[in-house]
Structure 1
């Protein structure tokens, strides 16, 4: 008599679930991308070229406008180079902020960020990396400019080293805040040529319709009104007061508050703009 054999129950094997790599944390992404960008600073030619424009401006303006130091309304007992350099620090940081937006627009055009989108990288980390890179580059540029002014032009303000260091820090803070505004423009415009045009149209009136090169009292009446409401005037007056050893709370607070507001608004708009396909 045949015996029935028991058939073992069928078991369904579930395939192993594949773990998808979600990438590293946001701070690590920012750190890696910033380090990638900072490698460009190893090339001394880049620092020399970045110093060329502010050094030419310092040379020309210190010679062309130095007779203003003997006119009524100019601070008594202040050399024109001591009056001029804090303004050059602020305007140089402002011009460096423009390169943030131009560099981002260039990355958007040449396909670098398109490749980043295929990786588990948050696009916000690209913005912060670009901002920190430009902040470091601007700081190195301004330090070298300050040293060159002291060695070559006899820059020796009343505030001494501490006052000049405070003016330098203020200029870096102002430039970093404006950098976020230009990053927002670059994220939305995405065209290098348009970005450069818009940036120069915005920067040059701010530079020359201010207290950067001559006292406001020596300007025409309508230009005085523009200079008094120019946010760059607050930054220049604050940096100049710190360097000369006569700091004033109003311009310092106005410059820092304006920079903070621009940073918040600019970073929000830049984050929205860079997420667009």
Structure 2
């Protein structure tokens, strides 16, 4: 493990002992994970700067897509794009939580935790919660940069934008558990990154992230309509553009809860069996 991971491991090994409740264990592990993340200045700087290249590349290179058939009239491409980047940015934070879990598995941290009176599932919940903090930092940075440098505006108002952030984090929470399940299965960061990259490509590009679904070929439109990322982007985009969003928001939260309910118990059982 890296020096930062070693320091984090030492701090996390000071988790509550006998008699500590599971919420207390999760709280301590989450705090230590977030503290380790914030103490790494280079990682924090990269986290803050990461949204800028995405805004530059996608916002400039794909701006001509605003003229394709089916694109919402009167909507600048940046206002169409930012909701998609909000969801995908939050999703990247969920993937990073799974990558950190592979570091813990490969570095022996989970094995060391087995000697403590600790529910191992609290390690996964803490990683997931820390991923939400990381995602929130990235989302705030993304929105501020898009507003200050590219003219992005939330037509739904500030409250709708806050709810859009919450929806993005819900998508990241649900799919993040899926990535952590893969981390418990593969146990190697390289294998996880390869599998996640294979999954992320269709999730991002076979969706409505960069183009309206109506403008896609029929076969790709069918894939996009079944894509869970499409539902998240639809909800966030409706909120940002000031359009009716309640059904899409409710569907997205329900889908995120369903994915979490299915994958989280399996991931916990898998990490408990990991030697």
Fold in common (TM above 0.5): yes
Residues 16-55 of structure 1 aligned to structure 2 (within 5 Å): 22-39=18-35, 40-55=37-52
Query: Which residue of structure 1 aligns with residue 226 of structure 2?
Result: 229
CA distance in 1, matches of 2:39, 2:150: 27
The 5 Å alignment of 1:44-193 reads: 44-193=41-190
1:23 Cα deviation (Å)?
Answer: 4.7
Partner deviation per Cα, 1:217-269 (whole Å, 9 max, x = no partner): 22222111111111111110110000110033332222111100111111101
Per-residue CA deviation, residues 53-101 of structure 1 (Å, 9 max, x unaligned), is 4321221111112122233311111111011000000011112211122
Contact kept, 8 Å, 2:87 with 2:168, in 1: the verdict is: yes
Matches within 5 A, 1:252-267: 252-267=249-264
* Contact kept? 1:166, 1:243, Cα under 8 Å: no
Q: Equivalent residue of 2:70, what SS?
A: coil
- Equivalent pairs, count: 257
Task: Say whether the 8 Å CA contact 2:207–2:229 is kept in structure 1.
Answer: yes
What is the rounded CA distance, in whole Å, between the counterparts of 2:160 and 2:246 in structure 1? 14
Q: Report which stretch shifted further, 35-44 or 127-136.
A: 35-44
Judge conservation of contact 2:48–2:137 (CA < 8 Å) in 1: no
Following superposition, the deviation at residue 154 of structure 1 comes to 0.8
1:209 paired residue number: 206
Q: Deviations over 1:194-236 (max 9, x none)?
A: 1111111111111000000111222222111111111111110
**Structure 1 gap segments, 5+ residues each:** 1-20
List per-residue Cα deviations over 1:13-69 (Å, max 9, x = no partner).
Answer: xxxxxxxx7352211111111111111214443232124443212211111121222
TM-score scaled by structure 2? 0.89
Does structure 1 retain, via aligned residues, the 8 Å contact 2:174–2:259? yes
Decide which structure has the larger Cα Rg and report it: 1
**TM-score scaled by structure 1?**
0.88
Question: What RMSD, in angstroms, separates the aligned Cα atoms of the two structures?
Answer: 1.5
Q: Is the 8 A contact 1:47 1:141 kept in 2?
A: no
